[in-house]
Structure 1
Amino acid sequence: MARNPERRTALLDAAIEVLGDEGARGLTFRAVDARAGVPTGTSSNYFTDRDQLLSQVADRIFVRMTPEPGSLATAFRPEPSRELVVELMRWLARRMAAERTCYLGLFELRLEATRRPELRTQLTKVLRADLDFNIRTHIESGMPGDADTVRLLYFALTGLLFDHFTVPGLHGDRDLDDLIETVVSRIVPEA
């Protein structure tokens, strides 16, 4: 296996783009090579098979979606409140919109995981670590609500963003920021 970490990262980023644009069925080594602008056969030197590529794409998506160091500390500076949760959820939605291809790629990976047990195991591990981090951060920062509050926010925001990215007209003229405020006000208790 080839060991150039920069090339591996470029191939994984290309694979995310292919996933987001063409879906899991379009994710082939040839498509990754073409998107990365490298000679045909390059990605097969970095990944033993498609399953390994899919698993490493899952890890790479979360690396790309992880906020810059210090940005969470800045975001949590104001006094914990329902209003701050609204602002944090809006901030999260903007981050997901900025990484739209990653988010769509993650949806594709979730669907593919229903057919691939190894990918399901890897994706569950990555998603579990992210959810646990969010729960821990919410509680340790003194935000209103408990672990189930965070889980409900996760369920709601995941579904809302899925609609927003895939069928944006579904909610008519409802603004995403307004929908987020509605979700938070119905889930998060007053401080």
Structure 2
Amino acid sequence: MADRRTVLLDAALELVGTQGMRGLTHRAVDVAAAVPSGSTSNYFRTREALILGIVERFIAREREMATGPDDDVDPSPQGVAEALGRFVHRAVGPDRAVTLARYAILVETAQNPALRPGMAPGAAQVDAWALDLVTRAGSRDPARDLGLLANYVTGLVLHELALPSPELDPTTRIRDVIDLLDWDHS
């Protein structure tokens, strides 16, 4: 069973993903998590602290969406394509609320720059993990390729949330992008 903090953050993610940022209150998280009133404010004193907690949680959830429970990805072009394809399927399917919460928080951060310093460490952690992965998978220019892949996957997810494709095959599409980037397959 998850600890109380994780339960609260998962409930907050679901709230933001289904109701947007306006639905995020300490009281609403308490109700959604089925915990005693005041529990959320005991863990997260301010709205900003709660938002930063959600960021930490969606980073962990999104990484698991790509890696699965093993936190492992085959460091090959196909392994990267499969991991990102898995991520896309989960992001637009069973973990849709997590994805929508991430986008809502990114918009909130764009409108409230004071949140940026709190978001930066999580983004740096994800970037370091992904940069290492694409390097080991054979990228000849890891920083460039990571940026291109991340933007492609983000755009694909956003498009699929708004206008779902009946025959979505993200793994093949992502592998096509990797092949265009001409990674070393040796």
TM-score by length of 2: 0.81
Which 10-residue stretch deviates more, 91-100 or 5-14? 91-100
Relative to structure 1, is the Cα distance of residues 142 and 163 closer, same or farther in structure 2, using a 3 angstrom cutoff? Answer: closer
Instruction: Specify the alignment match of 2:46 in structure 1.
Output: 49
- The letter of the residue matching 2:177 is V
- 8 Å contact kept, 2:140–2:183: yes
Which 10-residue stretch deviates more, 63-72 or 24-33? 63-72
What is the Cα deviation at residue 36 of structure 1?
0.8
**Please, which of 60, 65, 69 is the counterpart of residue 57 of structure 2?**
60
Instruction: Specify the alignment match of 2:139 in structure 1.
Output: 144
- The letter of the residue matching 1:94 is H
Alignment of 1:33-182 (within 5 A): 33-67=30-64, 70-73=70-73, 75-76=74-75, 80=76, 82-96=77-91, 97-139=93-135, 141-147=136-142, 148-168=144-164, 175-177=168-170, 178-182=172-176
- 8 Å contact kept, 2:85–2:174: yes
What is the Cα deviation at residue 188 of structure 1?
4.4
**Please, which of 6, 10, 30 is the counterpart of residue 27 of structure 2?**
30
- The letter of the residue matching 1:149 is D
Instruction: Specify the alignment match of 1:8 in structure 2.
Output: 5
Which 10-residue stretch deviates more, 153-162 or 115-124? 115-124
Rounded Cα–Cα distance in structure 2 between residues aligned with 1:105 and 1:9: 16
Instruction: Specify the alignment match of 1:184 in structure 2.
Output: 178
Rounded Cα–Cα distance in structure 1 between residues aligned with 2:100 and 2:51: 14
Rounded Cα–Cα distance in structure 2 between residues aligned with 1:65 and 1:92: 7
Which 10-residue stretch deviates more, 151-160 or 33-42? 33-42
What is the Cα deviation at residue 14 of structure 1?
0.7
TM-score by length of 1: 0.79
Rounded Cα–Cα distance in structure 2 between residues aligned with 1:16 and 1:84: 28
Which 10-residue stretch deviates more, 84-93 or 42-51? 84-93
Relative to structure 1, is the Cα distance of residues 179 and 8 closer, same or farther in structure 2, using a 3 angstrom cutoff? Answer: same
- Runs of 5+ unmatched residues, structure 1: none
Identity of aligned residues (%): 28
Provide the aligned length of Structure 1 versus Structure 2: 178
